[in-house]
Amino acid sequence: CGHVCCFWCIHKSMSAYGDSSCAFCRSSYNHFPSICQTFHLLIRKKFPVAYRRRGEQVL
């Protein structure tokens, strides 16, 4: 689908039990999605508290 996601959004959208889909549009992944490292690091740097909270929610 082409949407850009951070690590946590992709992690949360992956399913070990069935089809995994995009966190934004719910399109099924045809392959393992890649994480935009630049976007991920920007989110982590600019929003450290929210980033940590998101990680705690997902794990």
Whether residue 39 lies inside any domain: the answer is yes
Whether 1 is in a domain gets the answer no
Domain that holds residue 15: 7-58
Residue 49 in domain: yes
Confidence at 2, pLDDT banded by 50, 70, 90? confident
The model's pLDDT over 18-56, given as tens digits with 9 standing for 90+, comes to: 788 888 888 888 777 777 888 888 988 999 999 888 888
What pLDDT shows up at residue 40? Answer: 83
Q: Residue 47: its pLDDT value, please?
A: 93
Tell me if 2 is assigned to some domain. no
Question: pTM score > 0.85 for this model?
Answer: no
The DSSP code for 30 is S
Q: What are residue 28's DSSP bridge partners?
A: 21
pLDDT value, residue 46: 94
- Give yes or no for a contact between 43 and 51, defined as CB atoms under 8 angstroms apart: yes
How many independent structural domains does the chain possess? 1
